[in-house]
Amino acid sequence: MKICGRCDQTIQDDEEYTEHDMPSSSGAGITIYRHVYLCKRVDIQTAPASEIRRYR
């Protein structure tokens, strides 16, 4: 099973994806998979700044 590095969703067998080899300090390195089409990037910020201000 492959996980898309951009949208964090599972890449299905019938979906196109790209591979990106990422070297790591441990030596093994990892491979990042991404959908070929533009999928939705996972936003690390949980709420926009305006939302936070509203509940203060």
**Token pair of 30, please?**
């990892």
User: Which region, judged by CB under 5 A, interacts with Zn ion, from 18-26, 27-35, 42-50?
Assistant: 27-35
- Nearest distance in Å: CB 5, Zn ion: 8
Does 4 contact Zn ion by CB under 5 A? Answer: yes
Measured in whole angstroms, the distance separating CA 22 from the mean position of its chain's CA atoms is: 14
Q: 3-state SS of the chain: helix, strand, coil percent to 5?
A: 10, 30, 60
- 32 binds Zn ion, rule: CB under 5 A: no
Interaction site with Zn ion (CB under 5 A): 4, 6-7, 35, 39
